[in-house]
Structure 1
């Protein structure tokens, strides 16, 4: 689509007011569609539970993606037409639909386009009587640390009619009522990601937190992972998300499967032995129906593997070294103290710490074609969240910066990787800009270096929340509740 700059409004404030009113009108329509099982997005950013200002910012964001303005005037009329269609549960990208509709109107200015008919043509695969929406699948979280709490937030906020958080397994400390109060406080407040978007009520009788109206049982598992009868609590065929990292092999994790009510197990850390290490969007489709226990690999593996896959498919990666500049984590110390790994015992907020990473070796599990070609190391730095991966690659043919960036931009916008790969062209981007990102990784195109067959890529990733989004997508895939996304990708 060629660039079509918008005319300067005669009155900026009046124009803002009109567009704000349209965004306000979008909120209840988006909510009504969501209750029908239809999630509305603008370029992979969900409009569900967003404010009118959030929606306006999403429209503005499209300018740096498509290099064209996207106005609420165009998108609102399409949303109205969308509301009246008989849609089955799905994910609809209003932003992409609007851009395509604008392009058609620009190419044929004399053509009168029936928006309803055009939308039916674009969304044929999900047009029809919706029928009864199947009940959500049960999910249980084992562990309530950084990843466990963020997954709880995500499942409640985004699970909708697909995933339902039913229980959290913890080791209770102190009196039950005091423990619940502490757990509620930890879920409600987060120094990195801010306050929880919703309400939390304590139900002491049921030993539960009622989170946005969703009762979540907090279970003491002092007896171990195979000691709970979940079916007796009304939980069935559930996915267990083990966020403790205590058990990383098949034998340890299969203990969860001995519990009535648990059907599958997802590990939130790199798996050991013959455990499948899956990266959503890259090799998760290799998961067999009979595989009950899988690993979602690490946050760093989820960040670097998509980039390596995309670059290798187009330019061929001959050799490479990955350096991760990683935020410190819970296993490090505030002040110097004992740690079983070299250097990790040194004070996290006072030092940059060189350490090892298993991400490079994990690449071979997700991308066997790169086995033996990638090395890696890590530097832990004094920042609590968001990490940076630096990929120094030797390619199979000469490239230039523009070619590499444009290929990655197209893949980020219009390919099957668009939900996991972000792209930024901002010359002022810094780590805190990516706190709360729901992508696995974001390419910093301004930092790309390419000369001859050598290419260096810089990529940001929220090693907490971005990783949790990968876990969320993996949970949807494992339980078979992924929804068709339209319009279809163009790359």
Structure 2
């Protein structure tokens, strides 16, 4: 399977998935675990012997750039009663990506990271991971403030090793003379600047690029417009935008982005966690009102030990305390989901874990329902709907936060914790507030860059 997956990705820009999880650049163990995880959402085991025939069939088709879910192909084929062969069924299911229907491979799009903290480094990993075909997003440069002696080596080391997300998958070398980091063959220029006005990106051969601002220093249109320098075409903020800056949650409102929009925000990790399931629940049951309580891992803007902080409680030691704080996620819902008229309130408690948070979403629904009905509906949404890349679903009775480190979904519904009583529903939504959010950022960037390719079999609408 591995050589076929790699060849399809390199030569035809085809990404092979199993239930929305990419198999590109994955190890044998990872592929087996991805198949085995299908039992959590599909209710039964999925074997590589079931998906391999579909993968082999893909090599015989004239495929264009696309994402093809062989887990879904296997599941839908099993449910199909027409007596088609695997070859016939596969050709029909991916017809939109073959022959006259296929889209042309597009030129790659330059990407610049402004800031290289937790989110910046994870976004960098994802961009490097997706660079295999050469026709997608190309990480060309990172802009940071100078940090003194051995700055470049230290930044490369932080990219190479991560206490939570593990080792970088591949090789990283440093060229201090040219101020570059070479990651898996991708040459990334490190530009030192204290302000956007100091950089002319065309001097580095960067053109028509998308700049991802990971600093959060500027959140309104006026501030973010500083990035629209020579070589930069669009700016994407990895924090909630203010004023008229669109807040985008991929899967929910990314299709509202205007082609000429140059500045947009990916909102917050918590907004991305709650908006997709909130939309799903509103679509099916109607939501009259809601409250979200996030139990959130501590972040860099808190103090390690008690010390002065401009916020009231964030100055207290993050590893030693639960800290009540505010969240802008509830108010951000209105921007990302304007059709939802229900009032949503929210608050947050920072807790002494380094990553993975949980949002407890308490909803008053428009009609009465049952726990079993809600769980079956959300499970189906996670498998078959346009939100399947945003919403995951687990039935594991012993799941805890660390189990979701590295999840690429915006949120994961915990079936065992879900509570429903008439028209009241309480959903427990896990989310990797670092990596899952970074995946959402990449999806938005892919969409605005024009390199977001269609998925087959097409999800139900």
Q: Deviation per CA, 1:45-93, whole angstroms, max 9, x where unpaired? A: 1111111221122222222322233222221122111112110011000
Q: Distance in 2 between matches of 1:88 and 1:263?
A: 27
Structure 1: 5+ residue stretches without partners: 1-25
Q: Deviation per CA, 1:450-481, whole angstroms, max 9, x where unpaired? A: 11111111000000000000000000011111
Say whether 1:170 aligns with 2:144: yes
Q: Which of 107, 116, 134 is equivalent to 1:135?
A: 107
Query: What's the offset of the Cα at 1:179?
Result: 1.2
Q: Deviation per CA, 1:271-301, whole angstroms, max 9, x where unpaired? A: 1111111111111111111211001100000
* 8 A contact 2:41–2:395 mirrored in 1: no
Q: Distance in 2 between matches of 1:91 and 1:154?
A: 16
Q: How many residues of Structure 1 are paired with residues of Structure 2 in the alignment?
A: 457
Provide the residue aligned with 2:222 in structure 1.
251
Q: Say what the alpha-carbon RMSD is for the aligned residues.
A: 1.4
Say whether 1:205 aligns with 2:160: no
- Write the mapping of 1:88-487 to structure 2, written as runs, cut at 5 A: 88-104=64-80, 107=81, 111=83, 113-128=84-99, 133-160=105-132, 161-175=135-149, 178-222=150-194, 224-257=195-228, 259-371=229-341, 373-487=343-457
Structure 1 runs (4+) deviating above 4 angstroms are: 129-132
Q: Distance in 2 between matches of 1:246 and 1:152?
A: 19
SS, match of residue 396 in structure 1 = strand
Query: What's the offset of the Cα at 1:395?
Result: 1.0
Say whether 1:54 aligns with 2:26: no
SS, match of residue 409 in structure 2 = coil
Larger radius of gyration: 1
- The TM-score normalised by the length of structure 2 is 0.96
Q: Which has the higher contact order (CA 8 A, sep 6+)?
A: 2
- The TM-score normalised by the length of structure 1 is 0.91
Q: Distance in 2 between matches of 1:203 and 1:425?
A: 47
* 8 A contact 1:364–1:372 mirrored in 2: no
- Write the mapping of 1:58-73 to structure 2, written as runs, cut at 5 A: 58-73=34-49
SS, match of residue 207 in structure 2 = coil
* 8 A contact 2:40–2:393 mirrored in 1: no
Q: Distance in 2 between matches of 1:171 and 1:423?
A: 41
Structure 2: 5+ residue stretches without partners: none
Q: Deviation per CA, 1:385-429, whole angstroms, max 9, x where unpaired? A: 000100111111111111111111111110000011000111101
Q: Distance in 1 between matches of 2:162 and 2:340?
A: 38
* 8 A contact 2:290–2:342 mirrored in 1: no
Q: Distance in 1 between matches of 2:191 and 2:331?
A: 36
Provide the residue aligned with 1:3 in structure 2.
none
